[in-house]
Amino acid sequence: MRSMKWKIAGAGTALAGTLAAGLVVAQTGNDTAPEARYVMDVGTTAGMMGQGDGREMTLRLGSRLPATGGAPKADHFLPEGMRMGASVPLASPEPGTRDEDKSAYDKLMRPKGRLLIYWGCGAHAGPGQPVVIDFARLGKGQAPPELFSASIPAEAVPRPGTSRTYGDWPNGKTNAKVRGNSSLIGPHRIAGNYSPEIGFALTQDFMAAPRVKSGQAADGSIPLNWAAVPAATGYYAWAMGSAGEGKDDMVWWASSATRQFGGDLWSWLSPGTVNRLIGQQVVMPPGQTSCAIPAEVKKAAGQMLMGFLYAYGPEANFAFPERPKDPKIAWRPKWTAKVRYRALGNFMAGMPDMADAMRGQMADEPDERPEQKPKPCKPKLGGLLKRAAGIGDGC
């Protein structure tokens, strides 16, 4: 069981680049656009093996202005409650480095085997399932057609390729990390030599992470239940499993009522987008706290399914000057800032609690065992999907 668990947790590496490219509008040369745009993506991930929840933060500053007085430089000055020091630097990419939005598929090995995909909450899978993708039939570097959702436009954030000057964090300029007890509450200020000074205060802290409980129904399906997450605007779940030891087939399920997988569903979504997707039955409404993985998924996956539940959150928007109340008055803000929230829970389908199960396995193992050298990483499909979703390194 232990080897199966890590096969699922670390299986895969080949499609991450297909998720990255978004529909964005270049700022360079547009005098009516804000001089600077700033986006904070903040998230919470449920802890594993009894550990506390993890917190994450990504900062992006894009400007249509050149840097003055030397190389680009900017810093985000943090409230004391973040416990990360006074500020973190927003590093600009070195000239000639590759845009982060470009596909990385050509760097990765082609996955082997097949992918069986299912969707929808319920005791049994709907008609036309599973859809089977045989990777042996795809050309090298070719992404499976229509694998990831294309009906959800990527929400524009600053990128190196769409900004005259750009900086972000995390980066290699500092060792500062978001802590489990970091708090966003308080004043935030962004200052540098290629954008106007940006300032705003946050009253919404990191979201709580969903705690997902899974069971085993008599009909073979896997019921999932979780407590409502405060401030959540909607939920989306997915699970990945292996067909068994020695096989390359993977099984993938998502909670959407239609075939909607990955893509921007693994990112931060605005409340407006989430509300639209709820109406399309792609995202579960915030009042829904249960779902069932069909029996056919469990049968195809075999021993274990590793799953994840996204709780999309609110969004805070700031601008200077603020938007006029009279819509007839032209509005040309000097800068805009957006803070996006989300939380992520994890579960092992068919088990009472992922953290409890992993703690139990650790307790059954001897405390002292010979040191083993880590095996070289040979990522496959499942690990790639985890890494693309921002929840693992692919190994």
The stretch 259-265 carries a mean pLDDT of 84
DSSP 54-78: EEEEEEEEEESSPPSSSS--EEEE-
Sheet harboring 198-202: ordered strands across? 87-89, 74-77, 186-192, 198-202
Could you tell me the pTM of the whole model?
0.81
Q: Identify the band that residue 28 occupies on the pLDDT scale cut at 50, 70 and 90.
A: very low
In tens, the pLDDT along 36-90 reads 999 999 999 997 644 669 999 999 999 999 999 999 999 999 999 999 999 999 9
pLDDT of residue 42: 98
Distance CA 99, CA 17 (A): 12
Average pLDDT over residues 267-279: 95
Which H or E run includes 175? none
Identify which of 5-9, 57-61, 112-116, 324-328 has the greatest average pLDDT.
57-61
Sheet holding 290-293, edge to edge: 212-214, 222-226, 290-293
Ranges 86-90, 126-130, 196-200, 258-262: which has the least confidence: 258-262
Which range (121-135, 182-196, 237-251) has the least confidence? 237-251
Q: Residues of the chain with pLDDT > 90: what percent?
A: 59
Report the range of poorest mean pLDDT among 97-111, 153-167, 379-393: 97-111
Confidence band, pLDDT 50/70/90 cuts, at residue 386:
low
Predicted local confidence at residue 136, as pLDDT: 76
Instruction: Indicate if the pLDDT at residue 99 is higher than 80.
Output: no
pLDDT of residue 139: 61
Between 148 and 71, name the one with better pLDDT. Answer: 71
Q: Which pLDDT score, from 0 to 100, does residue 26 have?
A: 40
Predicted pLDDT at 21: 32
Q: Are 142 and 279 in contact (CB under 8 A)?
A: no
| Domain boundaries defined on the chain | 2-363+376-388
> Is the pLDDT reported for residue 229 higher than 50?
yes
pLDDT of 206 higher than 90: yes
* 297: enclosing H helix or E strand: helix 295-301
Percentage of residues of the chain with pLDDT beyond 70 = 70
Average pLDDT, the chain: 81
pLDDT for res 135? 78
